[in-house]
Amino acid sequence: MATDITLQDYLNNDPSVKEAKKILSEATKSLTGARNVTPDVLAELQRIQTTAQNTYNKLVANATAYFKKNYIGISTSGITDSIARLEESKKSAPNQDALDSIQTSINALKENLKNPKPYVEPVVETKKPKDKTKESTPNQSKEQTDLTNKIQTQYSEQVAVAGQRIAAMDGTQRIVLAKDLNKAYNLNLPIDGKYSKELKSAYVTALSDNYVRSLDYNKDIPFAEFLITAGNEGTYRSGGATVPTVNVSDPTEAAGYVRSVFKSVLQRDPTAAEISKYSKALQTAEKKSPKKTVNGVTTGGLGNPLEFLTVEIQKLPEFAKKKTDKLSLTTQSILGTAKANGISLNQTQIDSFAKRVQDGTDIKIIDNEIRGIAGLGMPEKVQKLLAQGIDLDTVYSPYKNLMASILELNPESIDLKDPTLRSAIGPDKEMPIYDFEKNLRKDYRWQYTDNAKRDVSNVALKVLRDFGFQA
């Protein structure tokens, strides 16, 4: 009993749907397993998962629509009959190569019989072969009529399963087929073992030519034998055809591209007018740059729609202003980190760091490099703190606050390069706060403080009292 492939079979075997489902699963897993991440990382994971979900939904919808419109069910009984005919043709194989090619086709059909695969591309339309049965003369024998009918039936079945047969082949088998087709038709199909619509198109063309040749010679010519003969004769070779094709994004796709680029470049959603404007710009550019296929090799085309839209949107004054603002904020942040670690940067260094951030380097990496410079010559303990993202200003803060209090200074005026402050942390250990306080009183600035004046007055008063001059 014939069993047609179901829609679910089609979706389960469609390469694009399978890959999108895998990506969606990984994105969902990453989002679900996110723990203790920063808000910006969490937002990025959510964006990736949403994009993957939308892509998967769209591919499923497209595949479903294609299946309903174009799919031709392949019955198991038809495949079984084709296998039987191929087994019979093995008996007349002219050589071992032809025999191997026939066996490859049989293996592919048997694989389809076990696990039928759907079309990946629509069946390529070919010129309908001339119906030789209508030219049969009244004197044509029943054997000849039966043979003609058999050839026609076989051709129809082979074209119907052409896509499945190529999809079922392994890489080595596709390489052999591509080489044979290149030789027979003077093509330039890629010898990479991959499925492609160009490989399928050439294969269907060869099936059609084999059909006509079989009718002309009034015998069932095995496909493998036909390819060998065609390659040796050169009968079907030509300079190759140029097939221009235009691939234009539909409104939904174009709008999705525009939204994605606006989010990436300007960090905002586009307005309805902007979606309309840039969708039309994309579609116009795609129409002006069609793809061309020559001898199975595709060239031309617009390329990546996202790259095209990125270039267009970056022309907006808003982008230039954001770029300038971002550069200014980046420079301020770098200078802030440098100051917090006692590092003086010249303009060349500042520009170099800022450019790296603009080119994609995380500013945290720049900050860590600055802290690394600040840690040169410092004790290992301090270097470890700097490596953890702690600024030198924070490391010295207890001593800095005490210094400000004793020397009656504004804490912000105390430079991290101050020798007295630096003396608090030596190569081997940190100075106790009590010892640091005693050192501060030896600093030349201490003598000008009110604390010093009070101490001197107290000492003088004590001396006077000791000598009886003061009650």
- pLDDT, residue 296, reads 46
The yes-or-no verdict on residue 135 having pLDDT over 50 is no
End-to-end CA distance of the chain: 127
- Cα separation, 257 vs 279, in Å, equals 8
The yes-or-no verdict on residue 217 having pLDDT over 60 is yes
Quick check: helix, strand or coil at residue 245? strand
The yes-or-no verdict on residue 42 having pLDDT over 80 is no
Amino acid at 277: K
The yes-or-no verdict on residue 297 having pLDDT over 60 is no
pLDDT per position as a tens digit, 365-383: 988 889 888 888 788 888 8
- pLDDT, residue 2, reads 37
**pLDDT-derived band at 74, boundaries 50, 70, 90:** very low
282 closest CA partner among 317, 314, 247: 247
E strands present in 318-465: none
- Cα separation, 227 vs 230, in Å, equals 5
**pLDDT-derived band at 468, boundaries 50, 70, 90:** low
Mean pLDDT for all residues in the chain: 75
**pLDDT-derived band at 252, boundaries 50, 70, 90:** confident
- Strand-pairing partners, residue 291, are 245, 300
More confident residue, 362 or 295: 362
How confident is the model over 388-412, as a mean pLDDT? Answer: 86
H or E stretch including 270? Answer: none
- Cα separation, 264 vs 200, in Å, equals 38
Torsion angles phi and psi, residue 195, rounded to 5: -70, 140
**pLDDT-derived band at 352, boundaries 50, 70, 90:** confident
Give 453's contacts (C-beta < 8 A, 6+ positions apart).
Answer: none
The yes-or-no verdict on residue 168 having pLDDT over 60 is yes
How confident is the model over 69-93, as a mean pLDDT? Answer: 66
- Cα separation, 52 vs 420, in Å, equals 59
Residue 130 to residues 125, 135, 201, 461, Cα–Cα distance (Å): 15, 9, 19, 129
**Paired tokens of 409:** 């200074």
How confident is the model over 291-300, as a mean pLDDT? Answer: 53
Task: Please say whether the beta carbons of 199 and 166 come within 8 A.
Answer: yes
Quick check: helix, strand or coil at residue 294? strand
- pLDDT, residue 155, reads 66
How confident is the model over 197-205, as a mean pLDDT? Answer: 84
Task: Please say whether the beta carbons of 151 and 211 come within 8 A.
Answer: yes
How confident is the model over 245-262, as a mean pLDDT? Answer: 79
Q: Residue 36 — left, alpha, or beta (φ > 0 → left; ψ -120 to 50 → alpha)?
A: left
Residue 290 to residues 143, 239, 248, 347, Cα–Cα distance (Å): 50, 21, 9, 48
How confident is the model over 229-258, as a mean pLDDT? Answer: 71
Three-state helix/strand/coil letters over 402-440: HHHHHCCCCHHHCCCCCHHHHCCECCCCECCHHHHHHHH
pLDDT per position as a tens digit, 227-242: 888 888 777 876 444 4
**pLDDT-derived band at 115, boundaries 50, 70, 90:** low
Amino acid at 209: D
The yes-or-no verdict on residue 244 having pLDDT over 60 is no
- pLDDT, residue 219, reads 84
Residue 363 to residues 241, 329, 337, 397, Cα–Cα distance (Å): 53, 11, 11, 24
More confident residue, 66 or 264: 264
The yes-or-no verdict on residue 246 having pLDDT over 70 is no
**pLDDT-derived band at 278, boundaries 50, 70, 90:** very high
Half-sphere exposure of 418 (CA within 13 A, CB side): 22
The percent of residues in the chain predicted with pLDDT above 70, rounded, is 73
pLDDT per position as a tens digit, 9-25: 767 777 777 877 888 77
Edge-first strand listing for the sheet containing 297-300: 242-245, 291-294, 297-300
Q: Of 47-51, 75-79, 175-179, where does mean pLDDT reach its minimum?
A: 75-79
**pLDDT-derived band at 277, boundaries 50, 70, 90:** very high
Task: Please say whether the beta carbons of 106 and 83 come within 8 A.
Answer: yes
More confident residue, 138 or 435: 435
More confident residue, 5 or 107: 107
- pLDDT, residue 112, reads 61
Task: Please say whether the beta carbons of 291 and 278 come within 8 A.
Answer: no
- Cα separation, 217 vs 214, in Å, equals 5
- pLDDT, residue 4, reads 52
pLDDT per position as a tens digit, 331-349: 888 988 988 888 888 888 8
More confident residue, 207 or 467: 207
Task: Please say whether the beta carbons of 400 and 380 come within 8 A.
Answer: no
How confident is the model over 168-175, as a mean pLDDT? Answer: 88
Task: Please say whether the beta carbons of 372 and 319 come within 8 A.
Answer: no
The yes-or-no verdict on residue 434 having pLDDT over 70 is yes
User: Which of 123-127, 137-141, 283-287 is most confident?
Assistant: 283-287
Task: Please say whether the beta carbons of 445 and 407 come within 8 A.
Answer: yes
- pLDDT, residue 124, reads 37
Residue 312, judged by CB atoms within 10 A of its CB (0-12, 13-18, 19+), counts as: middle
Torsion angles phi and psi, residue 28, rounded to 5: -65, -40
Cα torsion 147, 151, 157, 162: sign: positive
**Paired tokens of 461:** 């008063």
**Paired tokens of 89:** 């043709």
461 closest CA partner among 451, 450, 471, 447: 471
